[in-house]
Every structure is written in C-alpha cells, then in structure tokens.
A and B are shown apart, each in its own frame.
Chain A
Amino acid sequence: MKSLLATLALTTALTLPGLAMARPVTMTTTLNSYGGDGAYLALYVTDPSGAYVGSLWMAGGKSKYYKHLSDWYRLTGGDKAQVNGITGASVGAGRSLEITLDLSDALFDAGYTLHVDAAVEDMRESPNEIAVPLTTENAGKPVRGRRYVAGFTYDM
C-alpha cells in the first residue's frame, strides 16, 4: 500500500483542520486499445473552486513529456516535486493501472474532484480525460474517459 503524498496530506490538513481519519482507496484505470505507445497519466485532485490540491500518481517516468499532460502541467507549473516518489511506468494500450492510497476522509463528499490527464506520443493530448467528483456514492461506479480511458473506478 502506498502512502498518500506528503503535500496532499499537508494541504488537506491545512485546509481542513481537525481531520484525522484516512482510508485505503484503490483506483483502477483501464485503457482502451488506442493503437499507440504507452500513455502518460496524471491523477490529481482539485478543490471545489477548481484549485489544485495535490497529485495522487504519475504514470510515466520522463519529466520532459509532462507538459503534454497540459492541465496538470498548468496547475502545477510542471513542478516535478509534486510527483516525487509517486511516479511509475507509463501504461500500455489496453492495460490497467491499479494504485491504492490512503486518502483522507475529508476529501470525500466535500466537493473535491479527481482528475486524470492523459497523453500519448504522436497522438492527441487529453487533459481532463477523467473528472470525477470524490463522493462515497460514486465509489465503485466506472466512468468512461474522453479518449484513452475505457473505465476508471475508485473503490473504498
């Protein structure tokens, strides 16, 4: 089990004082067969006002390509430190990415949104491929992406 990013914990602690409880959340991203090389995926959270809160995972190791995850890049200014320690390999067409993190309870049912940006070499950039509100009700319900993601779910 991977622990939640320090910055995220820090930010949520600052914005929502008093929260202490966290629970493991498993996020599964399954890609369709788009016929290209491995996709870069950025998973991150924004608050009710749309401001960046923190990153959950970065699939793709070469930071020079992060600018193609254009929403994530704009929100973070391309700050590599945002994904320090929570970076993995890019995800091939038709493959799935499954990650489990401890997410603070306070993130749920409070207007936060989980986003996935996707990009593939020589193919279209797909910022905001997924944008799903973090609610306990939405847990376990698959969401389709705009271009590359066949299904995204988070289970608690």
Chain B
Amino acid sequence: MIRVLHRWPGLLALALVTVLALSGAALSVFPAAERLAAPQAEAELNVATLAARIQAAYPGVEQIRRAPSGRITAYWFDQGTPGAAVIDPATGLGAGSADPNQTQRWLTNLHRSLFLGDGGRIAMAMGAAAMLVLALSGAALVARRTGGWRHWFARLRGPLPGRLHVEIARLAVLGLVLSSATALWMTASTFDLLPDAGANLSIPAEVSGQTGVALAAIDRLASTPVAELRELNFPYPDDMTDVFTLTTDDGTGFLDQGTGALLNWVDPTGWQRVSETIYMLHTGQGAATLGLVLGLMVLGIPAMGATGVLIWLAGRRGRPRIRGNQPAGRAQTILLVGSESGSTWGFAATLHAALSKAGQSVHAAPMSGFAPDRYSHAERIIVLAATYGDGDAPASAKGFLDRLTAVDGAAVVPLAVLGFGDRSFPAYCAFAKAVAAVAGAKGWPELIPLDTVDRQSPQDFARWGRALGQAMAIDLELVHQPILPATETLTLVSRRDYGAEVQAPTAILRFALPRTTLWQRLTGAGFARFAAGDLIGILPEGSPVPRFYSLAAARRDGFIEIVVKKHPGGLCSGQLNGLEPGATITAFLRRNPDFHPGRGRTPLILIGAGTGIGPLVGFVRGNTRRRPIHLFFGMRHPDSDFLYGAEMPDWQAKGHLARVVTAVSRGARPNYVQDALRGDGAEVSRLIRNGARVMVCGGRDMAAGVADVLAEVLAPAGLTPAALKLEGRYVEDVY
C-alpha cells in the first residue's frame, strides 16, 4: 500500500516536481546573494537615525523598507519623479538599484505558478502535495527497507538505482518534507484559506494637527533598532491628518507627524507569526543558510525521479503482467505470491490465466499484501512461495507470517501452499513449509497438501495443477514457460582445461563480448555493463530453465569468462564442457550487486574452492587500485586443477594480489581451504578487526566450513560472522 502511495504520485507528478525542485534550488541562491551584497547596518543603529540620514539625502522620501536580508530600500519623489534605491545605512545614500531582479522574478513565477496565474498556482500546490506524499511514504519505505527507523542509515544492498534512490532520499527527505509542507501552507495563505491576515489597524480619529516633528525626536523610532524594522511610511506632505506608519517585527502602529506620539499599535497575531516563520523557512529570506541547504536537498529530486523510474521499469520487467486481475473483495480465489527475483510471479501469471479461463475470478497479490478482511467472497487462498536465503521470506512476502499469525478468529477458507525452490539447498522450500505450518496451527483447512516445485520445473507445476484442479472440481492444465530476459548469443573464443587427472574436469571458458546496441550502452542493459561477481544465465539446449554461473571478468576486461566443472549427468555443464572455440551458447546477464567487492581501500579476504575461484579472480584482475587482497584457494592438486595458477605470479608482481594461500586436498596431507584459513587465523583475525571484508565463493559445504572456522578465529576478538554479515562485511556466493 505504501509502495503504491509512493509510486503513482511519483510517476504522475515527476515533471511538475522536477520543475519545482530545479526552480526552487535556483531560487535558494538569491537570499544568500542578497545577504552578502546588501550593505548591513551597524548593530546599534536605530530607525530614527537611519530615517534622518535617508531624509537628508532624499527629502521626498515616502517609504523605507528593510528586507529580512538586511537590505534597506527607500522610495521617494523628487519634484514629481519617483525614485528608489538600495540604501547604504551608514550614509543614507543610494548604493544600488531597487528594481526587482528579473531572473529571480521569472524563476519565482515559474516556481509558484508556471506563469499560469491561479490555475498554475493550484497545479504547483498539487505538485508540492505530491512531493509531501512522496517524502512521507518514501520515508516509511526506507524505514521498512533498512529494518526500522533506528536503522535509518544502515548499509544498503541491491541494485544501484535502488541504492542511489534511498541514499539520496534519506539525506534529503527532511528538506523535502519542510519545503513541500511550507509550500502548501503558503498556497493556502495566498488563497485566503488561513486567518493569517493580521488585525486591522484603525485610523487614528484624532491627530495633533501639527506637522514637522524631527525624526530624531520620535521616541518610538529612536528606540527601535534597524534590525527590527520592516517598513516606515512617511505622511503625505500637506496632509495634516496623515501619520507615520511603522511596521516592525513586533507589529504595526501610527505615529503623529506633529508630536511623534504613538497613536495606535497592534501586535501581529499568532497566525501571522506562524505564516511569517513558514515564509522564511520556505524562501530562505531571513534564513539564507537554511535556504541554501534546502536548495541542495531538493536538487536530489531529479536524481530520485530518474532512479525511481528505473526502479519502476525494472520491477515491471521482472514481473509479468497479470491480465484481468479481479479486486480482492470480489474474487473467489485469492492468489498470494512470495517472490524474490520475480520468477514465481511467472508461475502465478500462468495459474491466474488458467483459473480465469476456467471461469474463476482470481485476485493475485504479493504475500506482503495479505489482507484477510478484504477477501469477502473468497472461497480459497492459494499461496505460491519462494524462499530467500536460509528459509527467510522472499521480498514480496515480508511480514506475511506475522500477519497470518495475527489473524483473529477461526479461518474458514481452505488454503493451498506451493513452495518454489532448489533441492540442492538445505533449506529447500523452508519458507513455504513455515507458512503451511503456521496455517495448520491456526486451524486453516487444507485445500490440497503442501507441494513443491524444484528449480522452476514445469512438470512439478503441472502435476500440482492437476491436484488443484481435482480439489476445485475443474479441469486445470498448467503449461508454464518461464519468462526469461532477452538473451544473447555468445561465441566461445578460448578454453583452458584443468582437473581431468583428479576426476574433476573443469574448464575456464572465455566468450567474446556480444555486440551491444546504442540503447543498451546508454542504459547499461544486457552485457553493456557487468562486473565480476555478476551472474550469467545460460540456457542449455533441451531445457528452458537457465543455469547460473558467476562471471570471472568485468566488461572492461573485454571478454566474458566463467569457470565450469563438469558434473556427472549435468545437462548444462556437460554441454559447456563440450564446447570448442567458435561454438555458441544462449545466455543473459543477471546482476548480483551483493557480491561485488565495493570501492573501499580496506583489505579484501577472498575465499574460494574449485570453480568458486571464478568471481574472486575477476576481482583480482580488476584491482588496479592495488587494494590489499588476500586469496585463500582450495584445490585438489596443484599439478592438475590450480585454476589461474599461471597468472597469479603476474598479479602479485603488479600488486593486484597481496598474498595467495592455497590448500591442497589430495596428497600426503589433505588440506581444505578452511584448514588454511585456520592456520592463518591470527592474521585473518587482525585483518578483519581492521576492517577487512570477507567474500566467499564455492560449494555449500565449503562455505559452511569457512563460516565455522571464522567464528572460531574471530571469537577472541568478540566478532561473529553473523555480525559481519549484518555490516555487509561478510558475503557469500554459494551454490
């Protein structure tokens, strides 16, 4: 819900808010410039002295005004000719033109009304309202993303546009709330919707009838410092009934032109003071530094607009369009989807289409949007749930279990749960199982028993669909074809073979960069931009399901490289190991921003075994800034599967690689990479205490062993791998 509140005002008001932000940022400079340029009055100067100086210089003076910047302007008539100037308070003489700055005037009119009068003012106010909604909903989203308001500045993960968006937002959001809320107040004030006009000052009925009091003799003027002055109006010459009108920070009053006596005075109302403060906060007039800060903050808006659109587009691409989705309140079948990368949405779309075709009205929604009170016509709920990490809820299912647990009363609608996962993971479909367990414990009836789909298997899905159809007494045939990103054809240019002697045939495969279109280069789509550690999805012949490999090279290396071990009976690894230079594969890029080394200067500890060396070597190759890298590498035998063994001395000589520690598992003294790590424990612990980052790539068992050893090694220092993970200083790419 909050996301919807954030997305649509953002997209709809993008242009308007961008105009507001850019013009506002430009305008923020003027108060500061005026403050610097205006000749300032000496601290003890009072209004009487100032007015006398000005009157001496311009006998026909009618009005003196002081802007919050301290700039003093006088208006006079000299023999019927109007004159005006910015005044140097030290002399009372003109020190500059009083004409309004035309650029500022143009920008102000653009900013508040798009040059369109009242209609434009209302449009811009709606832009400000959109900005306020965006800022507040965005703040709620940031808090949700970082895990609560207290973690406001926590480290961010995920794709670059999203991180940039949040990074700018959490710095700028206060300024945006302040600017937009004050803008709305000012619009309301302009349209007379607020009682902030101030009290009326009645004209004095009785004046002395005399004229010509000396300015210096007027007590009220002598006792008012120039810093408090806003406006002083002189009486008309020859009008005996007229008076001096003085406006200061403390109110407005009339002064007799014959005696100088104070005839009447009103204080500003509370509303007036609030409106003045809000005007100051919004325009920076009287608070120039704050104005500049706000100006800088709103400059983040165009950047957030651009990244916001990118995030939205990426989300749309990742999630297939579900046609004919019914409102939650009217649907018979509620389809809840827990998806991390979007592939489960593909299955949901297939199921939605099949059920709709069978005459059902179906509402599909993310699991995080679970709202049982709204399902008034629901006859069943179907949950399609992937699993994130070690049994965690995937992105679109955050908070689902809590909400399910919190549901009051007896549930009457039967529930079916289908898990999506990969059997090679220990926590296979663990989240789906947790959902089924909680639902069972809460007494939800079971529509059909929990089932699972392994590695996006269309066969598993079709089988489950038949069971579902039976339970619903409809004929349900689910034919699912995974939706894949646009693929490219890659040509193998070279291969290097290792490990045949130790029964682990492994190849380093190098592919040529595919030709990229101008659009791809501009947007960084596809293979136009990638880094070591990103993933390549390869579609083997005979299967629509992609297999993912970590990239061992970055775009700027000029080639695509992966390390592949042949698995007995493995479809994709077998095909890849059979490739000869000139042969082609079908592949696409998937970004993996969590497994990038980052830009810091702190040491890197890279730990890998076997083909896990791939992305690690990519980091070493790209380490032109000579960040200290400590590589721990496990192999079977140095004569057979020392992947990249030939290049390592060269990288060490160039300073790309500080140190290599190898572990050999075959031979007289079998040694695994975790053993090597333990052997080097003191140094590893020292590096980590000094801020080093740990990156692990390889098999699941190795990664578990590494985590155990690190826990052991770090315990004396009071650190744990879990704590490092939270800080983003311990990342794994495990298969």
| A151 interface contact, C-beta 8 A | no
Are A77 and B105 also in contact (CB < 8 A) when A70-B233, A147-B82 are? Answer: no
Interface check B100, CB cutoff 8 A: yes
Q: Are A64 and B192 in contact (CB under 8 A)?
A: yes
CB within 8 Å of B: which A103-156 residues: 121-126, 128, 146-147
B118 on the interface (CB 8 Å rule)?
Answer: yes
Q: Is the CB of B191 within 8 A of A146?
A: no
Interface residues of B in 79-120 (CB under 8 A from A): 80, 82, 84, 98-100, 102, 105, 109, 117-118
Complexed CA–CA distance, A52 and B109 (Å): 35
Measured between C-beta atoms, what is the minimum distance from B286 to chain A in Å? 15
Q: How far is the CA of A77 from the CA of B203 in the complex (A)?
A: 8
A-B pairs with CB below 8 Å: how many?
Answer: 46
Whether A35 lies near B190 (C-beta < 8 A) is no
A64-B197, A146-B77 given; A123·B100 CB < 8 A? yes
Please measure, in the bound complex, the distance between the C-alpha atom of A54 and the C-alpha atom of B105, giving whole angstroms: 34
A89–B98 CA distance with the chains assembled, in angstroms? 26
A88 contacts chain B at the CB level, 8 A cutoff: no
A147–B81 Cα distance when bound, in Å, is 8
Q: Are A64 and B190 in contact (CB under 8 A)?
A: yes
Asked if A36 meets B203 with Cβ closer than 8 Å, knowing A64-B192, A124-B84, the reply is no
Q: Which residue of B lies closest to A146 (CB)?
A: B82
- The distance from the CB of A11 to the nearest CB of chain B, in whole angstroms, is 19
What is the size, in residues, of chain B's interface with A at 8 Å between Cβ atoms?
26
B49-102 CB contacts (< 8 Å) to partner A = 62-63, 75, 77, 80, 82, 84, 98-100, 102
Cβ A74 vs Cβ B203 within 8 A: yes
Inter-chain contacts of B543 with A (CB < 8 A): none
Q: Which of B62, B191, B203 contacts A62 (CB 8 A)?
A: B191
SS class, residues of chain B in contact with chain A: mixed
A62, A89, A122, A124: the one within 8 Å of B75 (CB): A124
Shortest B128–chain A CB gap in Å is 18
Contact (Cβ within 8 A) B63 A125: yes
The answer to whether the Cβ of A48 comes within 8 Å of any Cβ in the partner chain is no
Q: Name A9-46 residues within 8 Å CB distance of B.
A: 35-37
Residues of A within 8 A of B236 (CB): 128
Residues of A within 8 A of B80 (CB): 146
Query: Whole-angstrom distance between the alpha carbons of A124 and B62 in the complex?
Result: 9
Q: For residue A89, which residue of chain B has the nearest CB? A: B117
- Nearest Cβ on chain A to B253's Cβ, whole angstroms: 14
Chain A positions 74-113 with a Cβ under 8 Å from a chain B Cβ: 74, 77-78, 89
A89 to B102 alpha-carbon distance, docked (Å): 22
Across the two chains, which residue of chain B brings its CB closest to A120?
B100
B690 at the A/B interface (Cβ < 8 Å)?
A: no
Nearest CB in chain A to that of B80: its residue = A146
**Which residues from B are CB-within-8-Å of A126?**
82
| Cβ-closest chain A residue relative to B77 | A146
- On whether the beta carbons of B192 and A62 are closer than 8 Å, the reply is yes
Q: Within 8 Å CB of B203, what residues of A?
A: 74, 77
Closest chain A CB from B509 CB (angstroms): 69
CB 8 Å contact bits of B664-707 with A (1 = contact, 0 = none):
00000000000000000000000000000000000000000000
CB of B232 to closest CB in A, whole Å:
12
Complex Cα distance, B82 from A27, in Å, reads 24
Most buried by B among A61, A122, A128: A122
User: Please, could you name 29 A-B residue pairs with CB atoms under 8 Å apart, sorted by A?
Assistant: A35-B99, A36-B100, A36-B105, A61-B118, A62-B190, A62-B191, A62-B192, A63-B192, A63-B197, A64-B189, A64-B192, A64-B197, A70-B245, A77-B200, A78-B200, A121-B100, A122-B100, A122-B105, A123-B99, A123-B100, A124-B62, A124-B63, A124-B75, A124-B84, A125-B63, A125-B75, A126-B82, A146-B77, A147-B82
Q: Chain B: residues with CB nearer than 8 A to chain A?
A: 62-63, 75, 77, 80, 82, 84, 98-100, 102, 105, 109, 117-118, 189-192, 197, 200, 202-203, 233, 236, 245
